[in-house]
Every structure is written in structure tokens, then in C-alpha cells.
Amino acid sequence: MTDATGSHREDGGPEQLQRFEDDSAPAADATVTVYWRPGCGFCSSLFRGLERTGLSFERVDIWQDEDAAAFVRSVADGNETVPTVRVGNDLALVNPSAREVLRAVADRDPDALPEAARSELAAGSGRMGQVFGRILGER
């Protein structure tokens, strides 16, 4: 859990959940955009977790896109904390696990989840799912 200044959280939890409004996207939109930067190990981990489930998402490098960097700062207390994930038109997740992204998508549009993603969420329920999730790189 690191940002451009090198800070990180000791508890391994998400840095922040931020709701915002964007009138340009439909209310049930579950589009996923991952804001990242080169060299970010947490970004690489999130990419692997999301790719494993087959979830479609867009990658935006905040070092190449100033508007993207500004968005990340707007939802991360002025920091360029990555990964930051935008889900739909009203939710930003700062440094989430893949499972947290999947839950956010499922809350908005369960039909948008590929079968592997549904299995991942189902496997994550209960104590054993949490233990296996940690072993597999989830927080």
C-alpha cells in the first residue's frame, strides 16, 4: 500500500473507499478502470488477481495521463496512491484487493462478472476462504 511519497499502511487494508458523482456514466455502470504507475508492486499484484478472474478492466498509467493523476489525487486525499480503481460512476477504491474490486462490480452489475470471478467471490466466503485468499495474494 504505497503512494508516490512511499507511504503505506501496516494493516494491509484498503487505504480508502471514496464515493463521487459522475453524471456521464449510467447508474448501473460497473466499468472498471485501474489507475497505476510503473514499478508499483501492489499494482502488479492487483493486475494478476483481476486477470486470473477474467474481469475486463482498463489500465491507466498516471505518469502518462495528467487527468488520471488528478483523479487519483481527488479521491486519495491529495496523494497519488496506486492502485486506485474506479468502478462505475460513483466509487473509487484506493489500494483494494482483487476481491474488493469484484465485490464492487457484483454490487453494481452481477451479470458483468465472468464465471471465474463469481467462483473467486464464492471461494472467499467464510474463514477458510479468507485464509486461502491471503495465501493466493489477496488481503
Q: What is the pLDDT of residue 98?
A: 93
Q: What whole-number percentage of the chain has pLDDT above 90?
A: 53
Q: For residues 9 and 79, is the Cβ–Cβ distance under 8 A?
A: no
> What is the full DSSP assignment across 41-85?
HHHHHHHHHHHHHT---EEEETTT-HHHHHHHHHHTTT---BSEE
**What is the topology classification, in CATH, of domain 16-135?**
Glutaredoxin (3.40.30)
3-class SS of residue 128? helix
Whether the model clears a pTM of 0.75, i.e. scores above it, the answer is no
